[in-house]
Every structure is written in C-alpha cells, then in structure tokens.
Amino acid sequence: MRILACSFLFLLATFLPSFGQSSIREDAAKQQWILNAGESTYVIGVNDQGMLQSLYWGPKLEPGASLPAAKMKPERASFDPPIATTPLEYPAWGAGLFTEPALKVTSPNGDRTLILKFASAQVDGQQLEIVLKDVVQPVTVHLFYRAYPQGVIARWSRIENQAQSPFRIEQAMSAVWNLPQGTGYSLSWLTGQWAAEWQLHTAPLETGAQLLESRRGSTAHQANPWFAIGRTDQTNENAGPVWFGELGWSGSWRMVVESTALHNVRVTAGYNPYDFNYTLAPGQSLETPKFYAGYTAQGHGEASRILHRFQLAEILPGKPDPRPRPIIYNSWEATEFAVTEAGQISLADKAAKLGVERFVVDDGWFGARKDDHAGLGDWYVNQQKFPNGLKPLIDHVHALGMDFGLWVEPEMVNPDSDLYRKHPDWAMQFPNRQHTEQRNQLVLNLANPEVAAYVYQFLDQLLTDNNIAFLKWDYNRNWSEPGWTTGPGTSATAPNVDAEKQIYVQYVNNLYDILQRLRAKHPKVEIESCSGGGGRVDLGILRYTDEVWPSDNTDALDRIDIQYGFTHAYTPEVMVAWVTDVPNYLDRRVIPLQFRFLVAMQGALGIGGNLNKWTTEEMDTAQRLTAFYKTVRTTVQHGKLYRLQSPMNSEVSQVQYVAQDGSQAVLLAYLHSQHYGLAYPTVRLQGLDPKATYRIHALDAAKYADEATVQGSVLMGAGVELKLGGDYDSTALALEKLP
Ligand code: GLA
C-alpha cells in the first residue's frame, strides 16, 4: 500500500506541471499578512499610525519568517511629509500626499481629503480582505488580495458610501505595488498603433513618473496595461529580478510608474481618472478592476512563463486547462467584403484539404454591407449574398469536418443602417454636437441598458438560429463623444454630467455581462477578441474570450517582432496568427510560404490567404506544415516559452517551447536575411532535462544533419547546428523526450 502511495505521488510529481504553492498567513501580534505566491512573497502590515503599509515584495521568505513591525517614515524635511514617503498600500489624497493617489473623493460638504486607517482584516483561504476607513467621513475601502500558485497576486478594491448623501470619486485605482526602495531599475512596457502593436521598450527608470494609459474607452493599440521592472545591471531574458504585472480592464485605464526623488518606486493602476467621475449614492459601492502582479528572480523569460501559466489556469474561459486552439481559416484578406455563398464554399473546400478545423466568415455577410459605409447594426443575413441564409454554407462546412465561425462587431453602428435610423440616440453623443465618425461608424452606448439588451438579444438569436461555434468579436474605433444624452437623471434641459460619466465603468461592465451571459447560454461557442487587430487585449476581456487577434499586420517579418512583444504579456495560446498571401497587402513584402507558416506557428495557427490562387505545390506545402503543427501545437500553446534569440535588431531569431510535462520540445528558427555568407549561429536549447535523451524530428531533413538522438545536456550546452541560408529561411525541430 505504501509503495503504491509512493509511486502514485511520484506519478503526480512527474506529470503534473510544477506549479508552486500559494498561501496567506496572518501574524496577528504584528498585524502583518504574509502572502506567498509561487516563488515570491508579499508582506503588508499596519504601521504605528494605523495605516496599511507595504513591507516586502521579492523572493519567497522561509515559513515563519517575520519582518520588523511596520512604521511610518519620519519627516525628512518639511517638504517630505511621512504620508508621501511611506510606501502605503492604498494612499488616498489628503494630509499632504503628493505622489499618485489610489483614491481621491469629494464629499458633499466639500471635504476633499481622506485619511484611510486600518479597521479590520479577514483571511479566507487564498483571499485576504482588509477594510480601511476614513477618520472623518463615512467612506470605507475594502482591499482584496488573492494569491495564486503560479506566482501571481491579484489586488483590487471596493469603495463604499456609508454616508447619508452621495460623494464623488474622482480617481479610483485598483492597487499600488511598491517595489524595494532604490535606484538602478529598468522599465519594460508595450506601445503600438494599428498594424504595429506590441512594440517592446526597455529603458532605465529615471526619477519622475511614466504614464501608460488609454483615454479611448477601450484597452487600445497605443499601450497595453502591462509592465515589467528589472534591475538594469542584473536582469535579462534568462536571469535577474523582475517585478511585473497587468491590469484586467477593457476600458480607459491608467498605469503610473513612479520613481520619486527619495527613490520610492511604485506602480499604480486602475480606472483612468481622465474625464472620470463616479458618483456613489448612499449605500452604493464601486469595485475597481483586478491588478495582477508577480515577482521572479529568473529574468523576463520566466516572468512571461508565469503569466502564461496563470492565464491558462486562472483567467481564460477554458481554465484550468483550455483546449488548444483549432486551426482557423479566415476569409478577410481573401475576399474582404465580397463574401458570397459560392465564394465561401469554394474557399472552405480548399481549407478542409489543408487540415483546417474551423472556417470563419469575416465582415460583409449582413445588412447592406458592401463596404465599410453601411450595415453595422443590422445583424440579419444579406439576401443577395446568401439567398438561402447561412445554413447551406454552414452545412457544407460541417460536411467537410470543420466547425463554423462568424465575424460580428456588436458595439458599433453605421449611420447608414436601419438600426441607427430607428435609434439614433443609442449611439454615444453629446447634446447639440456633430458626432465624429471613424471608419464611418459610431459607438453604441452599451452603458444604456436598452442597448445592452438589444446587443445580447441579437447575438443570442444569431447563435440560436445558426450552428455557430465561434464569433470573431470586432471593435473598430475609439470613443469620441462619450456622452449619454438619455442617461440616468438627464433631460434635454438639465443634463446630469455626473451620472453620464458612469459610462466609463458601466459600458465595460455591460460588455462583460453580455459576453458572460452568451457563454453561459451557448457554452460551446468560443469567442475571439479583435479590435482592428490588437486594440482590446487585457486580462479583463480574456476572462470571456478564448483568443485574440494581435494585429491586422500579417507580414511575417513584422509579425515576428509583434509576437515577440505580445508574448511578454500574454500566452501563445491566445495569439492567433494567419498565413496570408504575398506580396503582403501592407508592405508588398514577398516571403516564402514555409517562413510565413513557421511564424504563424508561434501561436494559434490560422490561414487567411486566397486559397483559390494557391498552386498545387503551395497546397502540398501548406498541408505538410499544418500536419506538423498539429503534432506540436499543445506544446506551443500550453508549454513553457523560451525566447532564445530576440528578433529585435537581429537577423536571426528563435523561439522554443517545452511541454509542461517535459515530454516534448519544439524549436522554431528563422533567418531573416543573410549577410556575408555567414553560417547560422549555433542554437543552444533551454529548459530540457539534462540527463534525458531526445529524439529529434526535423521538419526539413536537409537543414538538420546531425544525430537523431541527443542528450539534453548536449542540446543545451553544445547546441544544435542548423543549415539555414539566404533570406527568409526557416526550419523547425520537434524533440521527443525518450523514456
Ligand atoms: C478589422 C479586423 C480585421 C477584419 C476587418 C473587417 O480591421 O481587425 O481582421 O475583420 O475589421 O472589417
């Protein structure tokens, strides 16, 4: 029996992914809370002034470790009051706080200060709730902490009005993360634009504040709510401390990274206070989005792997073990708006031959949609294009062994649409103003319950009437007049601007609610978040969507950089990538088919070319590569990612993935362009079992000519030689761990 138990434990240890542990311990005597998440520890405590203070964030402390009691910093000079120099957990504006506040309110009597002191705490399993109260006003703040075994802690807050009259919240952040006081930090962050999202930057963190934000109503292309901070002289891809985090909110957000003159380093994020105002009636509360963060001592690579594991296990709708993404065919680049039953059937026939598993019809199937001037809002099938509805196409796709997906853009309306003619007031707008169109469309005000009900209802109907397995949910513009002319308490003569501004929170909450209800009613339907490419990717939307479209840029060379940035913050599982035609529509670049495929294989492979134009040879190549992808996709999408060679400022790049159970590894290697006839550099693998032997399955026999079985220590130490030459050459190895 004992032997059995031992071998069972051994089996568990061998096959279960090696996640860490999480725990929350209270040291009641010192009023401290010790949160362990994976290989990190976070400690907070109540200080001698009754304020909640951050005490430690770094490598895991030994069980029972105790920190000195929390203490307010002494006044350094009359210009540096303790409130501004002590690393507070949730600093409210008041009593001389000059750094970024977590909370700023105006009470009805004009009191604009808050001094939040500890009131109570409760540990419930992996969750800690701490209550703070203002010393004068009946304002209560609940701080929540949840520790996850993958090495992440989630923090958020709830602000409650227990007064008899309303008060106005002008700034409400989710949390402040205080790093160890000091200098020599470097900040990494992501910026972008349409067709060039996920640009990774790293620069020394100088004294001052750096603002990352969206004022656009949605997450946006221009910056992503993610940060990673390393030590300039210690941290790289494979080693060194990294404090990292991301905010789960799909509306306007702000993240402020401060390094004060006294070298207090902190990251504050939550609702964007720009144009923000949330009036809390008596008895009401406002909850802030979750701000997730973690620490690792093992460099940016490990920080990403922690986030990837965490997203798979705790965030995505398919958690804790989302199914690997099917191979998609999408018609957008092939046909644009010119979708017809016959045209799509012809593409579907060819896609099926390639091993595609899901056929997706993009924009153009509904209303009077000939181009982007009309139709958004009219979600009925266009009779000219599909005289018999979608059923014949869907049946055909099913008969070919694929499931069926459809593009929608539910939150938008074209002024040239039946919906707008009927409900012009459903679009966001300010009174007596010309609305601003972008891509000839307006944003529907989802904060309005009538609009939210309409959006849910038409989607529910669409999914009930048709056998649809997948929605590509698009969102192709930002906000311009975020007004609500028919909002609560508003009339034409007396607008209630206070109530109107709830749009910033209510819109997004209604969006989440619609997604959640649709998923509950249609549990088999999967959803992709798209916003003109990667304009709405964050841990808020990813709780309801299975994948994202990272960019409209499908040029394989650009895409290598885009995907490199993307994987710093999000798992390859959600990173959809299509192989499209050349010359590429954006930059006319011509890249060989295998290179395009191997780039798309870094995440969830899809195909988006016009298959009617592909030659027999191209179809054969595509079939072979799709079949290869199927043998490695679980490792790519669920494994540990090692960015072996960054593509930034390099003519070569490689990524490697190791299955969570170690049974397989995959290497994807690229030569962007060759100079001076130099041989491809030796590639040293990572994350393998040094003692194990691996059988190497080379995608191209001619590009890997060494032995078929090699020991892990050799693959990592001596590396592998690949014979790549010329421009846009590429290859892949699948490594099978032998028993
Ligand atoms: C957006 C998406 C594209 C495509 C078009 C359709 O730009 O990012 O993939 O769906 O809309 O109009």
211: three-class secondary structure by DSSP: strand
Query: For the chain, what's the residue count?
Result: 739
Give the model's confidence band at 131: pLDDT under 50 very low, under 70 low, under 90 confident, else very high. Answer: very high
d(CA 435, CA 489): 22
Pairing of strands 40-46, 139-148: unpaired
d(CA 443, CA 577): 27
Please tell me the residue having the least CA distance from ligand 1 atom 6.
363
Give every CB contact of residue 561 below 8 A, 6+ residues apart in sequence: 198, 199, 647, 648
Among 332, 408, 477, 607, say which to mutate for ligand 1: greatest number of ligand atoms within 8 Å of CB. Answer: 332
Q: Which ligand 1 atom lies nearest to the CA of residue 472? A: 10
The residue that leads in pLDDT, 9 or 499, is 499
d(CA 435, CA 79): 47
Q: How far is the CA of 446 from the centre of ligand 1 (A)?
A: 21
Please tell me the residue having the least CA distance from ligand 1 atom 12.
363
Asked if residue 12 has pLDDT above 80, the reply is: no
Give every CB contact of residue 8 below 8 A, 6+ residues apart in sequence: none
Q: How far is the CA of 366 from the centre of ligand 1 (A)?
A: 15
What is the predicted pLDDT for the residue at 643? 98
Asked if residue 249 has pLDDT above 50, the reply is: yes
Q: Which residues, judged by CB distance below 6 Å to any ligand atom, belong to the binding site of ligand 1?
A: 332, 362-363, 407, 474, 476, 530, 532-533, 549, 552
Q: Which ligand 1 atom lies nearest to the CA of residue 362? A: 10
The full DSSP string for 644-670 is EE--TT-SEEEEEEE-TTSSEEEEEEE
d(CA 126, CA 148): 7
Phi (first) and psi of residue 526, to 5 degrees: -105, 155
CA distances from 199 to 253, 268, 560, 562, 648 (A): 19, 22, 11, 6, 10
d(CA 402, CA 407): 16
Segment 57-73, tens digit of pLDDT: 999 999 989 899 999 99
Give every CB contact of residue 64 below 8 A, 6+ residues apart in sequence: none
User: Which DSSP helix (H) or strand (E) runs through 689?
Assistant: none
Q: How far is the CA of 76 from the centre of ligand 1 (A)?
A: 56
Asked if residue 619 has pLDDT above 70, the reply is: yes
Please tell me the residue having the least CA distance from ligand 1 atom 7.
532
Phi (first) and psi of residue 403, to 5 degrees: -100, 175
d(CA 278, CA 56): 33
Q: How far is the CA of 533 from the centre of ligand 1 (A)?
A: 7
Mean pLDDT, rounded, for 459-480: 98
User: Which DSSP helix (H) or strand (E) runs through 104?
Assistant: strand 103-106
Phi (first) and psi of residue 630, to 5 degrees: -60, -25
d(CA 601, CA 632): 9
Among 370, 471, 530, 585, say which to mutate for ligand 1: greatest number of ligand atoms within 8 Å of CB. Answer: 530
d(CA 571, CA 339): 32
- Which residues belong to the active site? 474, 552
Segment 273-286, tens digit of pLDDT: 999 999 999 999 99
Neighbours of 588 (CB within 10 A): 9
Tokens 């690997």 belong to residue: 324
Q: What is the mean pLDDT of the chain?
A: 95
Give the model's confidence band at 371: pLDDT under 50 very low, under 70 low, under 90 confident, else very high. Answer: very high
Segment 179-219, tens digit of pLDDT: 999 999 999 999 999 999 999 999 999 999 999 999 999 99
The DSSP 8-state label assigned to residue 612 in this structure reads G
Q: Which residues pair with 641 in a beta bridge?
A: 657
Give every CB contact of residue 111 below 8 A, 6+ residues apart in sequence: 136, 137
Q: Which ligand 1 atom lies nearest to the CA of residue 372? A: 12
Asked if residue 268 has pLDDT above 60, the reply is: yes
What is the predicted pLDDT for the residue at 19? 57
d(CA 570, CA 560): 15
To the nearest 10°, the Cα dihedral for 264, 270, 272, 278? Answer: -120
